[in-house]
A = this chain, B = another copy of it.
């Protein structure tokens, strides 16, 4: 299992404040950064932390409201000016290619690396060697998605010495065994249980990010038993009417989702600028789900 890092680059809803930039999350795994939403000001938030914009491999845009993606043209320009050559893949709802094209054209940017745009649909949108990203529909006033980062489960501790002793060369065969598949090597069948200490099985970490939405049970299944749920909480219950009108969630509603989904820990973000004291939000959530916290900008969480 590799260390996983989450950085809250911004935690404000709609309008930034002195203390909170617009909402954006960076997640580091295996040396690469994944960026979830990229509002205005995101690149400077990165500069104030250890998030390397040159090492962003994937960008996920939840929806195309300005306060969730207007930092993208500037970020692309900065990457290009600093000599980026690697392809960047940008995931977004329907129209993603057109949005990115228009944003780049409007800014008169010259981008010297390849950008691939991928339209998000519900379900798995990315599979990498040791993790996958799934998207699920949210309930906002334009098509909007939430995301699950799921690390691969480990069936057991890999007995490296034994595998070497068996003469199996490092590479695809090792991966197969680690994933629980039988292999044939030198006319001999080798079973995963021969080379895995099954007593040391470990579930992969699961991180769920819920952007702009009316909290509801439609996405409970997707985020179930997350180690960390990051959920929008634009308002408190006092402004529930406004939450309903604008298709956002209250802190209590987000906490209820956390409870129903049996997550381990809840971080609230996307906080309306009217809340000067984050405890207003936090305390409301804690009533429903004790392990609730309001994230602040540049908060870094390391999960080993």
Contacts and interface: CB of A to CB of B under 8 A. Distances in A.
Task: Say what secondary structure dominates the interface of chain A.
Answer: loop
Nearest to A76: B66
A64 B77 CA distance: 14
B66 A73 contact: yes
B14 A47 contact: no
18 contacts: A15-B78, A15-B81, A17-B47, A22-B74, A40-B41, A40-B70, A40-B71, A40-B73, A65-B108, A66-B74, A66-B77, A66-B107, A66-B109, A67-B107, A70-B70, A99-B106, A102-B106, A106-B106
A252 to B, nearest CB: 24
Nearest to A49: B18
A24 interface: no
Contacts of A43: 16, 40
Contacts of A99: 106
Contacts of A65: 107-108
Contacts of A67: 74, 77, 107
A166 interface: no
A107 B102 CA distance: 11
A246 to B, nearest CB: 11
Interface of A: 14-18, 21-22, 39-41, 43-44, 47-48, 64-67, 70-71, 73-74, 77-78, 81-82, 99, 102-103, 106-109, 142
Given A65-B108, A106-B99, A18 B40 contact: no
A47 to B, nearest CB: 5
A89 B167 CA distance: 75
Given A14-B77, A41-B44, A70-B107, 19 more contacts: A15-B81, A15-B82, A18-B44, A18-B47, A18-B48, A40-B40, A40-B43, A40-B70, A40-B73, A64-B108, A65-B107, A65-B108, A66-B73, A66-B108, A66-B109, A67-B77, A102-B102, A102-B106, A106-B106
A97 to B, nearest CB: 14
B66 A106 contact: yes
Contact of A16 (B15, B18, B44, B142): B44
Contact of A81 (B14, B47, B81, B107): B14
The 10 closest A-B pairs by CB, nearest first: A66-B107, A40-B74, A18-B47, A41-B41, A15-B78, A66-B73, A16-B44, A40-B40, A15-B81, A65-B108
Which of A15, A18, A39, A103 has the largest count of B CB atoms less than 10 A from its CB? Answer: A15
A132 to B, nearest CB: 30
Given A41-B40, A44-B21, A142 B73 contact: no
